[in-house]
Chain A
Amino acid sequence: EIVLTQSPGTLSLSPGERATLSCRASQSISSTYFAWYQQKPGQAPRLLLYGTSTRATGIPDRFSGDGSGTDFTLTISRLEPEDFAVYYCQQYSGPYTFGQGTKLEIK
């Protein structure tokens, strides 16, 4: 089973700043089967990016994704107040696995 490790565990930033979240896989994975999700308290997760870099329907273009092999990145170019949430990466290679999450909090 592939383990996804997200860093940092918590990221404290201010609105308007740039956020960079990382996800590292325990072995090389296909970029086609890699996704990012956003989850706010008390809500279901929401798909942000799939296929590493393709934005899901309705996701603003300040969200972007990159990466290949074992290292993947989610970038939020300019933080809006509604972006403060927990972010999860996810892959499919055999069983589906998720990272443990990065909490993006207001500084």
Chain B
Amino acid sequence: EVQLLESGGGLVHPGGSLRLSCAASGFTFSSSAMSWVRQAPGKGLEWVSTINNRGGTDYAASVKGRSTISRDNSKNTVYLQMNSLRAEDTAVYFCAVRGLTFNFDSWGQGTLVTVSS
């Protein structure tokens, strides 16, 4: 069974930084592309970033230049480093396994990031 456990969310001041982690199990992590998708309170889903199994990365325009996705295959963990945080970054951040047809197969339960002074 695929399990994804996000951590690292919390309250941060505007301009601050945060690193999210997602610990994965139940599938071959090193062969899988991993993504972060966020959901602002009461809003819809927004793709944030993806890292493929070779380490190639992609970012939404809204976070590009402020965020870095990375992975540690020895720990079956994917990370999202977020800098220069803004109020509009407030959201639940979900970790997801990206499928072969560029969908999101499995999701974690999410971690809440709140950017506020």
Contacts and interface: CB of A to CB of B under 8 A. Distances in A.
Asked if chains A and B come from one complex, the reply is yes
A32 B101 CA distance: 6
Given A45-B94, A88-B44, A88-B45, A96 B107 contact: no
Interface of A: 1, 32-33, 35, 37, 39, 43-47, 50-51, 56, 88, 90, 92, 95-101
Given A44-B94, A44-B109, A99 B44 contact: yes
Contacts of B45: 37, 39, 45, 88, 90, 98, 101
Contact of B103 (A90, A100, A101): A90
A92 to B, nearest CB: 4
A44 B47 contact: no
A44 B110 contact: yes
A97 B104 contact: no
The prevalent SS among residues of B at the interface is strand
In this complex, the interface size class of chain B, counting residues with CB under 8 Å from chain A, is: 20 to 34
Interface string B77-117: 00000000000000000100001011111111110000000
13 contacts: A35-B101, A35-B103, A39-B45, A44-B109, A44-B110, A45-B107, A47-B99, A95-B58, A95-B61, A96-B50, A96-B102, A98-B45, A100-B44
Which of B50, B102, B110 has its CB near the most chain A CB atoms (within 10 A)? B102
A33 B102 CA distance: 6
